[in-house]
Chains A and B, each alone.
Chain A
Amino acid sequence: MRIFVTDQDGTEHELEALEGWRVMEVIRDWGLNIKAECGGSCACATCHVFVDPEWQDKLNPPTDEEEDMLDSVADYEANSRLSCQILMSEELDGLRVTLADSARQEEAA
Chain B
Amino acid sequence: MSGNEIVTDVVIIGAGPVGLFAVFELGLVDLKCHVIDILDRPGGQCAELYPEKPIYDIPAFPEISGQGLTDNLMKQIQPFGAEFHFNQMVTNCEKLEDGSFRVTTDADEVFLTKVIVVAAGGGSFQPKRPPVEDVEQYENKSVFYAVRKMDDFRDQDLVIVGGGDSALDWTLNLEPLARSLTLVHRRDQFRGHADSVNKMRALVEEGKINFITGQLGRLEGENGQLTEVYLKTAGGELGVPATRLLPFFGLTMKLGPVADWGLDLHENALIKVDTERFETSVPGIFAIGDINWYPGKLKLILSGFHEGALMSQAAKRIVHPDEKIVFQYTTSSSKLQKKLGVA
Contacts and interface: CB of A to CB of B under 8 A. Distances in A.
B163 A71 contact: yes
B283 interface: no
A106 B255 contact: yes
A46 B247 CA distance: 17
Nearest to B190: A71
B308 interface: no
A89 interface: no
A35 B299 CA distance: 14
Given A38-B50, A44-B49, A109-B255, A72 B164 contact: yes
Given A75-B131, A101-B131, A106-B123, A68 B269 contact: no
B185 A72 contact: no
Interface secondary structure of B, over-half rule: loop
B79 interface: no
B335 interface: no
B254 interface: yes
A45 interface: yes
A41 interface: yes
A102 B131 contact: yes
Q: How large is the interface on B (under 10, 10 to 19, 20 to 34, 35 or more residues)?
A: 20 to 34
A106 B254 contact: yes
Contacts of B215: 74, 76
A105 interface: yes
B164 to A, nearest CB: 6
A72 B122 contact: no
A43 B53 contact: yes
A74 B164 contact: no
B49 A38 contact: yes
Interface in B176-194: 185-187, 189, 191
B197 to A, nearest CB: 13
Contacts of A108: 267-269
Interface string A63-82: 00001101111111000000
A33 to B, nearest CB: 11
B131 A74 contact: yes
B49 A74 contact: no
A75 to B, nearest CB: 5
Give the interface centre of B250, B255, B267 by most chain A CB atoms within 10 Å.
B250
A39 B249 contact: no
A37 interface: yes
Contacts of A102: 128, 131
The 7 closest A-B pairs by CB, nearest first: A108-B268, A72-B250, A74-B130, A68-B191, A109-B259, A71-B163, A43-B49
